[in-house]
Amino acid sequence: MTPVTADPIISVRDLHRDYRRPRTSLRRPGLVVRALRGVSLDVAPGEKFGIVGESGSGKSTLLRLIAALEAPTSGQVEVLGRSVVGRSERDLGFLRTSLQLVFQDPMSSLDPRMRVRDIVAEPLLAQSHSRGEREDRVCEVLTAVGLGHEAAHRYPHQFSGGQRQRISLARALAPGPRILIADEPVSALDVSLRAQVLNLITDLVESFDLTLVFVSHDLAVVRHVCDRVAVMHEGKIVEQGLTADVYDAPQHPYTQRLVRAVPTLRRALAGATAHDLTASGHRDFPTTGDDPPRAPSRRTSERP
Amino acid sequence: MTTPVSAVLTVDGLTVHVGSTTLVDDVDLQIRGGERVGLIGESGSGKTLTALGILGLLPEGLVANGRVHLAGVDHDLVGASERQLAQVRGRHLAMVFQEPMTALNPSMRVGAQVAEALTIHGNQTERAARRAAVELLGQVRLPDPAALARAYPHQLSGGQRQRVVLAIALANDPALLICDEPSTALDVTVQAQVLDLVVAGVEARAAALLFITHDLAVVATVCERVLVMYGGRVVEAGTVHDVLTAPRHPYTRGLLAASDLDRTDERGRLVTIAGSVPPAGRFPAGCVFRNRCPRATVGCEEVPPWTGPDRDAGFACFHPHGPGA
């Protein structure tokens, strides 16, 4: 499988995004946090592309820029061959139907006062479908995610965590997107539900012919789901390649540390201890011994 | 496994009720000094309530029954008065929860919070306690502990906060440390450091550890023995190696298969457990797992008895998988 055979469906070039933190002094302006520092990547149509990184690595910022939820400081983002940078919301209609997002915590992304049928139909309202078409579509996507159509009349709080994530997926599928972006979709789920939702995502990507961008801190999950992966650290992509290659033979010291830190059953049963997960053996790496620096809400460098 | 070390914690028939609903049913558990025991299961399996029942920290309206005995404490922890429990918690028995921000006082410098644990339970002077607090913060490998002791919790990262909580928990050299998902909210590299510190901390004190998690790989890394909970009951127990390589109970087996991301069917799909964990009070009578179990029969409408040499090893199932299967 060569990385890019057709024209990329998502193309990101030298993307930068700076955030200015609130000022803490009258005399000095607030600090600038460089959340993204020159990110470039291509995602081919039909590809399952993973983005791995820890908190503060810039992965969520990257998603927000690809989805044109905010504007980059500099750089280019093209989706389906059209630039999304600098467009008004009115001009982004194509993106809103062709690219959909699913987030980690379904409860905070589902309106508790709306019935499931209204939640799922909401993305269709902007597309001037008739009422009947909307109802058919809601029924269709609810069935596709494994919820019966009787689910349509209930409220989100009546569902378990795994079922709520199915509702989020149904809403994402409703407008018939070509790209599905999933931001930590299984991180809040228990082991048995995680397997069910991962299988469902794989099924949906196949049956709806989607391109998947899957963001996670869990390298093992990304390895299972994705063909290719980009590892992010401190606002940069430090390593990119086929998932199996990156996982089995990580090249960058950060990726090596990340792979090493993930506890696995096999290694644990072979005698690996908690100490073996830590970075003690990699003293040469700059952030060894402390938490990775993260974007806002951190104060490692300016304690009293 | 027959070490002569006496038990630090003995839990005998611990049951937690709310109204007529049973949330934790007849849990037996013994941990000896220096032993690390894991309690695993999915959300809603009763593992956190078991810990809270031991600690006497159950929310209003929940009632614990049974016996909980802790070495060095001459009364039963179940039914003990708040005054008695306050003497025990933080001295003989300490805990670390998932969310460090809720465990720390946001308006108090972290050094003072560590020192407080020492002055409340010991007869140390304020000054000696402050010095000891800085030392404890250094022990959990926080950089520049003297400066960090003057920081407030919001100025620290999640991993640093959890280390402060661990320093407080270990301050009085407790005989038992209970950790409830201490690393779940943390990044993987930070999780690795916190797990390392937990193990090093209890090893240095020859303390017993009860470690609650939903992550099988974490429990295998940290613990020697493990108890699997489902529907408020312990369904299987044994050494980490036995339980996780040759599970007897179909639930343990399902959990292991579902968490193995390298094991897929011919279509590349993961193995799943049918259905989902029912809400509290809606588990079936008899075997709690029977409505999701591929091996269930009519006989499973009876509560399966415990099969095994003792409560440290065995399973509760009428149709167990063979040993070594």
The verdict on a CB contact (< 8 Å) between B147 and A162 is no
Kindly tell me if the per-residue pLDDT of A293 is higher than 50: no
Per-residue pLDDT at A238: 96
The residue type at B164: V
**Which chain A residues have a beta carbon less than 8 Å from that of B241?**
269
Least confident interval from A84-93, A132-141, A285-294, B64-73 = A285-294
The verdict on a CB contact (< 8 Å) between A289 and B148 is no
Query: Hey, is the C-beta of B141 within 8 angstroms of any chain A C-beta?
Result: yes
Kindly tell me if the per-residue pLDDT of A302 is higher than 90: no
Per-residue pLDDT at A1: 47
**Which chain B residues have a beta carbon less than 8 Å from that of A277?**
191-192, 195-196, 221
Gap between the Cα atoms of B236 and B308, Å rounded: 10
The residue type at A50: G
Per-residue pLDDT at B283: 93
Per-residue pLDDT at B36: 96
Q: What digits encode the pLDDT tens for the residues A170-227? A: 999 999 999 999 998 888 788 888 899 999 999 999 999 999 999 998 888 999 999 9
Per-residue pLDDT at B299: 94
8 Å CB contact between B72 and B43: no
8 Å CB contact between A218 and A185: no
C-beta pairs of B101-105 under 8 Å, 24+ apart in sequence: B101/B153, B101/B154, B101/B158, B101/B161, B103/B165, B104/B153, B104/B161, B104/B164, B104/B165, B105/B153
The verdict on a CB contact (< 8 Å) between A265 and B272 is no
Mutation target for A interface from B36, B193, B256, B267: give the one with most A CBs within 10 A: B193
8 Å CB contact between A258 and A277: no
When pLDDT is cut at 50, 70 and 90, the band that residue A31 belongs to is confident
When pLDDT is cut at 50, 70 and 90, the band that residue A29 belongs to is confident
Residue listed under structure tokens 């029977």 = B290
Per-residue pLDDT at B1: 46
CATH topology of domain A10-249: Rossmann fold (3.40.50)
Kindly tell me if the per-residue pLDDT of A3 is higher than 80: no
When pLDDT is cut at 50, 70 and 90, the band that residue A266 belongs to is confident
When pLDDT is cut at 50, 70 and 90, the band that residue A296 belongs to is very low
8 Å CB contact between B162 and B194: yes
State yes or no: ipTM above 0.85: no
Per the prediction, chain A carries an average pLDDT of 86
Q: What digits encode the pLDDT tens for the residues A77-94? A: 999 999 999 888 888 989
Kindly tell me if the per-residue pLDDT of A18 is higher than 70: yes
8 Å CB contact between A40 and A26: no
For A57-86, the DSSP string reads: SSHHHHHHHHTTSS--SEEEEEETTEE-TT
Query: Hey, is the C-beta of B109 within 8 angstroms of any chain A C-beta?
Result: no
Instruction: For chain B, list the domains and their CATH numbers.
Output: 1-84+175-319 (3.40.50.300), 101-173 (no CATH)
pLDDT more than 90, % of chain A: 54
For A265-282, the DSSP string reads: HHHHHTT--HHHHSSTT-
**Which chain A residues have a beta carbon less than 8 Å from that of B271?**
195
Window B:157-186, CB contacts with A under 8 Å: 157-160
Q: Is B237 helix (H, G, I), strand (E, B) or coil?
A: strand
Mutation target for A interface from B188, B242, B256: give the one with most A CBs within 10 A: B188
Higher pLDDT, B72 or A105: B72
Kindly tell me if the per-residue pLDDT of A281 is higher than 70: no
The verdict on a CB contact (< 8 Å) between B261 and A223 is yes
- Chains A, B: CB contacts within 8 A come to 148
What Rg value do the Cα atoms of chain A yield, rounded?
21
The verdict on a CB contact (< 8 Å) between B189 and A272 is no
CB-closest option in B195, B199, B268 to A202: B268
When pLDDT is cut at 50, 70 and 90, the band that residue A283 belongs to is very low
> Is residue A49 classed exposed, middle or buried when 0-12, 13-18 and 19+ CB atoms within 10 A define those classes?
buried
Gap between the Cα atoms of A192 and A180, Å rounded: 23
- The number of beta carbons lying within 10 Å of the beta carbon of residue B107 is 8
Gap between the Cα atoms of B98 and B213, Å rounded: 10
Per-residue pLDDT at B101: 86
**Closest alpha carbon within chain A to B155:** A299
Kindly tell me if the per-residue pLDDT of A287 is higher than 50: no
Per-residue pLDDT at B5: 67
Distance from CA of A40 to the nearest CA of B (A): 24
Mutation target for B interface from A184, A192, A243: give the one with most B CBs within 10 A: A192
Per-residue pLDDT at A103: 87
The verdict on a CB contact (< 8 Å) between A261 and B258 is no
**Which chain A residues have a beta carbon less than 8 Å from that of B192?**
260-261, 263, 274, 277-279
Distance from CA of B107 to the nearest CA of A (A): 15
Per-residue pLDDT at B324: 56
Window B:205-264, CB contacts with A under 8 Å: 214-218, 220-222, 240-241, 244-245, 254-256, 258-262, 264
Per-residue pLDDT at B122: 79
Each domain of chain A, given as residue ranges in start order, spans 10-249, 250-287
Query: Hey, is the C-beta of B102 within 8 angstroms of any chain A C-beta?
Result: no
Mean pLDDT of A133-155: 90
Query: pLDDT tens track of chain B, all 325 residues?
Result: 444 568 999 999 999 999 999 999 999 999 999 999 999 998 889 999 999 999 999 999 999 999 999 998 999 999 899 999 999 998 999 999 988 888 999 999 999 999 999 999 877 888 999 999 999 999 999 989 999 999 999 999 889 999 999 999 999 999 999 999 998 878 888 999 999 999 999 999 999 999 999 999 999 999 999 999 999 999 999 999 999 999 999 999 999 999 888 888 888 899 988 888 888 888 999 999 999 999 999 999 999 999 999 889 999 999 999 875 4
The verdict on a CB contact (< 8 Å) between A265 and B244 is yes
Kindly tell me if the per-residue pLDDT of A132 is higher than 60: yes
**Closest alpha carbon within chain B to A190:** B42
Distance from CA of B250 to the nearest CA of A (A): 13
- The number of beta carbons lying within 10 Å of the beta carbon of residue A14 is 13
